[in-house]
Amino acid sequence: MKKSAINLSFAFLGGLVLLFIVAPLLGMVFSTPLSTLFSTAQETEVQQSIWLTIWISMASTLVFSILAIPLAYLLARYSFPLKNMVLGIIDLPIVIPHSAAGIALLGFISRDTVIGKAAGAFGFNLIGSPVAIALAMAFVSIPFLINAAREGFASVPVRLEKAALNLGASPARVFFTISLPLAWRSIVTGLVMMFARGMSEFGAVVIVAYHPMVAPVLIFDRFNAFGLKYARPAALLFILVSLVVFITIRLLAVKRKKDA
């Protein structure tokens, strides 16, 4: 009886958490007429904003994964001085205010910095560009990929890698044929989390690039200028598009796993 009672208590508490998550979303759905949602979806500004958000987040995820995945492997396989400090630095973008992250990035890529001057020499201003948006998205989201990939590599038995090395395989071949395939599920999870976090970023993005507007900035701009009634349809549409994108990515990942 005690076990049953505590399970019921946990189920009740869990139900409250789920209600807390679902209730605001359902309220948004029921408060937005379909006609308003369809008319918002037909607006060129909204379409461009959502598309800009998706492709920049995807591009930043793919580009920075080239750097993040090898780092995750090193963190999973080797101990070295100040490793805990490195792990703390990786988690830092999660805990600092994202507006502060945007200010830090602004000082990193502004026109009077080395990077800003280098870009200016080619006639390119980073501030207010898709590159600035990608950097802001990657800055706040890359810890999710590194941590997930590190856990995936850590779960790969070291004896398999050592056996392959003893049989004459090069470290690169061991990584690409053993470590990476066995940790792939965790890496995909990290990629999805990084992509999702990048899409939802507002605080850092709005400081380095108010224009062109990604979806979170567009929603804020409409709310700030016209109020909740005008901003709600755009917010709901972005949520629906995000759900479709994430479900598609998950299905593709599951299919790849089954094929493997």
Question: In this predicted model, what pLDDT tens digit does every residue of 230-254 receive, in sequence order?
Answer: 999 999 999 998 888 888 877 776 6
Q: What whole-number distance in Å separates Cα of residue 194 and Cα of residue 14?
A: 26
Contact criterion met (CB below 8 Å) for 74 and 126: no
pLDDT > 90: what percent of the chain? Answer: 72
**Mean pLDDT score of the chain, rounded to an integer?**
91
Distance between the two ends of the chain, CA-based, in angstroms?
A: 45
Tell me whether residue 47 is exposed, middle or buried, using C-beta atoms within 10 angstroms of its C-beta: 0 to 12, 13 to 18, 19 or more: middle
**pLDDT for the residue 117:** 87
Calculate the alpha carbon distances from 3 to 16, 101, 248 in Å.
Answer: 20, 46, 39
Per-residue pLDDT of 118-138, as tens digits, reads: 888 888 889 999 999 999 999
Where residue 208 falls among pLDDT bands split at 50, 70, 90? very high
Among 4-8, 9-13, 103-107, 204-208, which stretch is predicted with the lowest mean pLDDT? 4-8
Per-residue pLDDT of 168-192, as tens digits, reads: 999 999 999 999 999 998 998 899 9
Please tell us whether the domain made up of 37-259 is placed in CATH 1.10.3720.10. Answer: yes
Contact criterion met (CB below 8 Å) for 67 and 230: no
Mean pLDDT of 9-37: 91
Q: How many CB atoms lie within 10 A of CB 33?
A: 10
Query: Long-range contacts: 251-260, Cβ < 8 Å, 24+?
Result: 253/185, 253/188, 253/192, 256/188, 257/184, 257/185, 260/181, 260/184
1 pLDDT above the threshold of 60: no
CA atoms lying within 13 Å on the CB side of residue 104: 14
For 102, left (φ over 0), alpha (ψ -120 to 50), or beta? alpha
Closest CA to 127 of 139, 140, 112: 112
**pLDDT for the residue 92:** 93
Per-domain residue ranges of the chain = 1-30, 37-259
Query: Long-range contacts: 124-130, Cβ < 8 Å, 24+?
Result: 127/208, 127/209, 128/208, 128/209, 128/210, 128/211, 128/212, 129/209, 130/52, 130/56, 130/209, 130/212
The distance from CA 158 to its chain's CA centroid, rounded to whole angstroms, is 29
**pLDDT for the residue 122:** 84
**Residue with structure tokens 């600092």?**
96
Per-residue pLDDT of 28-80, as tens digits, reads: 989 899 999 999 999 999 999 999 999 999 999 999 999 999 999 999 999 98
109 pLDDT above the threshold of 80: yes
> Rounded to two decimals, what is the model's pTM?
0.88
Amino acid sitting at position 22? V
